Amino acid sequence: MTIKLGLVGTGTVGGGCLDILRNHREDFKRHLGVDMEVVRVCSRNPEQAEARGVLHLFTEDFNDIINDPEIDIVIELIGGTTAARDVVLGALRAGKNVVTANKALMATFGDEVMDLAREKNLEVGFEASVGGGIPIIQPLKHSLISNEITSVMGIVNGTTNYMLTRMVDDGLSYEDALAEAQAKGFAEADPTADVDGFDAAAKIAILASIAFNSRVKLNDVYTEGIRNITQLDMDTADDMGYVIKLLALAHRTPEGIDVRVHPTMLPKAHQMAQVNGVFNAIYVTGDAVGETMFFGEGAGAGPAAAAVMGDVLEVARHMTLGIPPVVGCTCTDNLPIVPMEKLSTKYYIRFSVADRSGVLAAMAGVFAKHGVSVRSVVQRGSAQHETVNLSYVTHTASEASVRRVLEEIGGLEDVLRAEPSVIRVED
Amino acid sequence: MTIKLGLVGTGTVGGGCLDILRNHREDFKRHLGVDMEVVRVCSRNPEQAEARGVLHLFTEDFNDIINDPEIDIVIELIGGTTAARDVVLGALRAGKNVVTANKALMATFGDEVMDLAREKNLEVGFEASVGGGIPIIQPLKHSLISNEITSVMGIVNGTTNYMLTRMVDDGLSYEDALAEAQAKGFAEADPTADVDGFDAAAKIAILASIAFNSRVKLNDVYTEGIRNITQLDMDTADDMGYVIKLLALAHRTPEGIDVRVHPTMLPKAHQMAQVNGVFNAIYVTGDAVGETMFFGEGAGAGPAAAAVMGDVLEVARHMTLGIPPVVGCTCTDNLPIVPMEKLSTKYYIRFSVADRSGVLAAMAGVFAKHGVSVRSVVQRGSAQHETVNLSYVTHTASEASVRRVLEEIGGLEDVLRAEPSVIRVED
């Protein structure tokens, strides 16, 4: 029995998938008892298909794949939520299993996709949608199932982690770090999805849905990016024993799921603080297993293709054994999302203020008025004449109170010289 | 359908398993569609069973579990390779699936166990045998299957990692670190299995067997422990930018499988160098995925029980779905084990030698004679009168040549003042 694959998308990940099958088809037969063959390839780009040696399998119309009765598994690698959604839903409707690397699709239409798969008794693999080659969805759906997962924290965007690493290690500015990431091909010409945190938000939505058995969608995730991180914040964090990372966080709380993406100060000794460059890591805490971390390359043709083909092989293994899907949608609960205002955590807040007497006292008064207790405050001069930087670290405080502090200090007459920088602190 | 469990062993891990089921039985029904119940418990210790609230299920004879037609899955947690082997093989012969945390058993009789399971069409889960709660066997048997795994490196013994961490962080001697580990319950009264590397050897045998699809047994693993590590070696490593870890290593080479356990100098910047205390980590490199690491708590009731119950739930899930075992023995190849003499790596070698002229030159001559190229040599005084320590780091050299160097320097008249310390270097 040879499992027939239809590949939609012939970019770098698609190319990586073709390479894996070319290199290891005989190994898969011997080790797994699974034989597989790509029988059709769809792309908008025949030159790309030719370069990958699959022009003879080429079509420009994905319906040729969906409607091909011979095809068992459709691999969707075109990204986005329009054509990709048609491909995935169309393939399922036509009775084909699906493997996708599409985080945006799964974080937005994951319920629709998984419901249809269940109805059709088909499988949908999406390991590659989070963390590149790092096994994390499989471990959450299998190895860790004896746990109640209490939190998931991830460095899941390689572009921003590369930029932050360059900023902290080599003193680059945000702009220079971004330009370098773009030059190296780690960041897109329009870097919004990465630097504003939306890519990470889609990934934590997927992880939280599985970890907490309750659907979390992209729109549920409070999201802040790294555009406002300055070298001064980096230095202050360093002095205080922290590093700044763009973290995707999801916590199970008595009130529901707290899920967010934002720059976060992590103690240098934390295992995640040492995840640098384009590497990703996902830190999972369970009630029995305690703390675990999954680390690896978060992007690139090889890692993403390894995850895609791992899913394809798993589905093919089930088909070869003649068994139904083992695990489908795991969202059996319906937990509320905790609104961001209800968050309680520690905060780093840097104000750039007028350098004159009375300002520090006025600000201290505002913190006290709203019940935000200050752990430390550091004053530093600024390059701007008559401006100083005041960096506060609070004890645990509510987001709502901190917002009131920010609002009221913003309203103090002739005090603020720039937008305050707010970074949450994870201890 | 309620899956009936028989538990053999009521120690800390067994207690952890009972706790998990007690806390989450309803969750498992809701999330996984799996209902499970412990119906019999075997132990040599009725008091322990009573303390865990399962005296009413108690038997002293494991045959009562093996022969109970009601029982679907037998959980073996007694350890060792005698009674445990009888329990595991007996359960399989009686048509019951097995979950075990027994690394010694799987590293010694794994082929016998897996062959019998295949013959009987039954499952054997052993995730807990390596890395405590860290998912590693499942990821190797599922998520990473699209890769040719090129190497597996593990810090898989929490006791020795705790000791080495205390030695490097707080300057404890080996003896003091061991005494402390024993006082804290991390080390046994007889610490041989941990400090001499046999525990780690069993674990890397299991990991290598799966990673390379070829059976590796405990006896195949070259094993050195940490008894000879001194504070001087720690300090020298630190000066050179390394930390010393007890690593379990398995490499796929053109000549076969190179598999060993020994103290190893790792660069401080390596992700594994930062795995401290009782934490474990397994670093897996694949041809497509690149570098990945799995990190977590390597021991303790919670983590080990989480892994055991994860396996139990997976088997129960398959039984509930009415499907046969998905993955059994994966040793489909038969690769040779590379003898240790064929190893090529870098070496740190410390000699304690007589402090007199001519010694350094004579030693340099021996290194040159055997073609072992020296990268650096550092001389330090010693507390002993008229003795100095010479620490060499070599370029890549063959184990055979290094052994000849050691032998010949050992034969130099009145030169050595103590056994040389040899630590391999991984860059």
Cα distance between residue B248 and residue B346, in whole Å: 16
Average pLDDT over residues B78-96: 97
**pLDDT at residue A187, as a whole number:** 87
Distance from CA of A267 to the nearest CA of B (A): 14
State percent of chain B over pLDDT 70: 99
Instruction: Answer whether residue B300 shows pLDDT above 90.
Output: no
Q: What is the pLDDT of residues B355-385, one digit of tens each?
A: 988 999 999 999 999 999 999 998 887 666 7
Query: What is the distance between the alpha carbons of residues B88 and B105, in angstroms, rounded to a whole number?
Result: 9
pLDDT at A384: 67
Closest residue of chain A to B135, computed from CA coordinates: A143
**pLDDT tens-digit profile of B226-245?**
999 999 999 999 998 999 99
Work out the percent of chain A whose per-residue pLDDT is above 90: 91
- Token readout for B371 is 């073609």
Mean pLDDT lowest among A100-109, A354-363, B33-42, B311-320 = A354-363
Which residues are within 8 A (CB) of B82 and not within 5 positions of it... i.e. 6 or more apart? Answer: none
Per-residue pLDDT tens over the stretch B329-341:
999 999 999 999 9
**β-bridge partners, B345:** B397
Does the annotation list B10 as a binding residue?
A: yes
Q: CB distance B139–A144 less than 8 Å?
A: no
Considering only the beta carbons, identify the residue of B275, B290, B306 that sits closest to A286.
B306
Q: Do A292 and B323 touch (CB under 8 A)?
A: no
Does A14 belong to an annotated binding site? Answer: yes
pLDDT per position as a tens digit, B373-425: 999 998 887 666 789 999 999 999 999 999 999 999 999 988 999 889 999 99
Which is catalytic among the residues A203, A268, A342, A369? A203
The per-residue pLDDT of chain B, averaged, comes to 95
pLDDT of A266 strictly over 90: yes
Q: Report pLDDT for B383.
A: 66
User: Is the predicted pLDDT of residue B326 greater than 70, yes or no?
Assistant: yes
Q: Does domain A2-132+301-321 have CATH number 3.40.50.720?
A: yes
Best to test chain A binding among B24, B143, B272 (most A CBs inside 10 Å)? B143
CATH no. of B137-297: 3.30.360.10
> Between chains, do A133 and B289 touch, taking CB under 8 Å as contact?
yes
pLDDT of residue B400: 95
pLDDT at B393: 94
- Cα torsion angle, B189, B191, B194, B199, sign: negative
Residues of chain A in contact with residue B24, where contact means CB-CB under 8 angstroms, are 146, 148
Give the mutation candidate from A165, A292, A297, A331 for the B interface (greatest B CB count, under 10 A).
A292
pLDDT at res. B263: 97
Number of CB pairs < 8 Å for A and B? 196
The residues near A413 (Cβ < 8 Å, ≥ 6 apart) are none
- Greatest C-alpha distance within chain A: 82
Q: Do B295 and A271 touch (CB under 8 A)?
A: yes
> What is the spatial distance between Cα A147 and Cα B302, in angstroms, rounded to a whole number?
10
Answer yes or no: is B188 a known binding residue.
Answer: yes
Q: Do B309 and A139 touch (CB under 8 A)?
A: no
Could you tell me the two tokens for B220?
Answer: 């195949």
The pLDDT of residue B384: 67
CB contact under 8 A, B314 and A145: yes
**Is the CB of B291 less than 8 angstroms away from the CB of A297?**
yes
Once rounded to an integer, what is the mean pLDDT over residues A270-289? 96
Topology (CATH level 3) of domain B2-128+301-321 = Rossmann fold (3.40.50)
> According to the model, what pLDDT value does residue B381 have?
75
Q: Name residue, tokens 């390894």.
A: A306
Please tell me whether residue A331 adopts helix, strand or coil conformation. Answer: coil
B148 closest CB neighbour out of A27, A143, A300: A27
Catalytic residues of B: 203
Mean pLDDT estimate for chain A = 95
pLDDT above 80 for A194 = yes
A29 among known catalytic residues: no
pLDDT, average across residues B148-164: 97
Q: In the structure, what pLDDT confidence band is assigned to residue B299 with cuts at 50, 70 and 90?
A: confident
> What tokens were used for A371?
């019940």
Q: Which amino acid is at A244?
A: I
Task: Band the pLDDT of B185: cuts 50, 70, 90.
Answer: confident
- Put simply, the answer to whether A287 touches B23 (Cβ < 8 Å) is yes
Ordered by start, the domain boundaries in chain A are: 2-132+301-321, 137-297, 341-425
- Could you tell me where the DSSP H helices lie in A189-336? 192-195, 198-211, 231-239, 301-321
CA distances from B102 to A151, A243, B83, B110, B199 (A): 29, 40, 12, 10, 11
**Any known ligand binding at B33?**
no
Residues of chain B positioned with their CB less than 8 A from the CB of A150: none
pLDDT of residue A359 exceeding 80, the answer is yes
| Pick from A296, A255, A7: nearest CA to A161 | A296
For residue A265, give Cα distances in angstroms to A250, A277, A288, B1, B295.
Answer: 16, 17, 27, 48, 21
Indicate the CATH number for domain B341-425. 3.30.70.260
User: pLDDT tens digit string along A364-409?
Assistant: 999 999 999 999 998 887 666 789 999 999 999 999 999 999 999 9
- For A28, which residue in chain B has the nearest alpha carbon? B146
Q: Is B95 annotated for ligand binding? A: no
